[in-house]
Amino acid sequence: EPSQQQIFVEGDNVLFYVPEHQQVIKTRLGVELDSQVPVRLLAGSGHLDRDFNIRWRNEAKQQGPDGAYLLTLISKTPTPDFAEIQIEVAPKDFLIRKISLQEPGGNGSTFEFSQMKINHGLKDRLFTFAIPEGVVVVEQP
């Protein structure tokens, strides 16, 4: 089964919680690994045009069956952590619905987003992650 991971961005910190490992990895936004590119893209700290060459996944078929724009991002700076990133962008609101990272060795990670609602007046405390009891916190420099 794929490993489940929860990602929380709190100010300048990023918390990666993997329940099956009973561990939280805490790092600073901007110094996280290249494999965490989706976090940077969603947090607004990634710069697509500066960091990537962007192309249609398939020039002949630029949209998926549900109308999503299908794009491939290739890093302008070679990285050992991923070969390419594929994203699906909703046609009506241009929100990223799916991010897939393809690693050079053949492994991959997929982040899917659904039932997104923008600016619905939610309280900040809803997004504060309470670390469960017994979970080990590893702070990265």
Mention every residue, 6+ apart, whose C-beta is less than 8 A from residue 107: none
Task: Examine the pLDDT at 18 and tell me if it is beyond 90.
Answer: no
User: What's residue 68's pLDDT?
Assistant: 92
User: What's residue 32's pLDDT?
Assistant: 46
Helix (H) or strand (E) run with residue 50 in it: helix 48-51
3-class state of residue 13 by DSSP: strand
Distance CA 39, CA 52 (A): 16
Distance CA 80, CA 103 (A): 8
- The more confidently predicted of residues 20 and 1 is 20
Distance CA 104, CA 42 (A): 23
Query: What's this model's pTM, rounded to 2 decimal places?
Result: 0.62
3-class state of residue 104 by DSSP: coil
User: What's residue 30's pLDDT?
Assistant: 63
- Which residue matches tokens 């089964």? 1
- The more confidently predicted of residues 71 and 40 is 71
